Amino acid sequence: MKRKQTGFTMIELIVVIVILGILAATALPKFVDMSGNARESAVKGLAGSANSAMSINYAGCTANKNQAATGKCVAITQCSDVSGIMQGSTAAGKIAEGYTVTGTIGTGLGTTGTCTVTSDDDSTKKADFIGIRTVTASP
């Protein structure tokens, strides 16, 4: 009585390994490039958050007659001041660890300017947002 062969032959296993190797070699460059896309997306996300924070702060200041006494208004005179209104900011001019904010805002209340978030790791990864000047009056 003949026994039926079970399992795979050596040739079949080698063919599968070769096919997997070819697939890995063609897919690997795509996955390696994704780290740059991730950094760019992070910068754009931070710029969007900073833009929203500036708008919300300006609305709070306007509603409270530009007075900081209520705690809903923070003075913004330059782009790096956004670090004071963003949750989780680590230092002046930094809206998150590894990202720097630069740019200028106009001199009058409610004037705007273009601010830029730049990755400290890769200075080519940048995104712009609108900064809005608020000046707090003493209560």
Give the pLDDT of residue 8: 84
Give the pLDDT of residue 131: 92
Give the pLDDT of residue 110: 86
* Cβ atoms within 10 Å of 48's Cβ, excluding its own: 13
**Stated pTM of the model:** 0.71
SS3 of 75, please?
Answer: coil
SS3 of 53, please?
Answer: helix
Using alpha carbons, select from 57, 69, 64, 63 the residue that is nearest to residue 134. Answer: 57
Distance CA 104, CA 132 (A): 10
Domain ranges of the chain: 10-133
Give the pLDDT of residue 91: 66
Place of tokens 């209340």: 109
Series of mean pLDDT values for 10-residue runs along the chain (139 residues): 77 94 85 80 92 90 74 83 78 77 88 92 91 73
Give the pLDDT of residue 115: 94
Using alpha carbons, select from 106, 107, 87, 91 the residue that is nearest to residue 46. Answer: 87
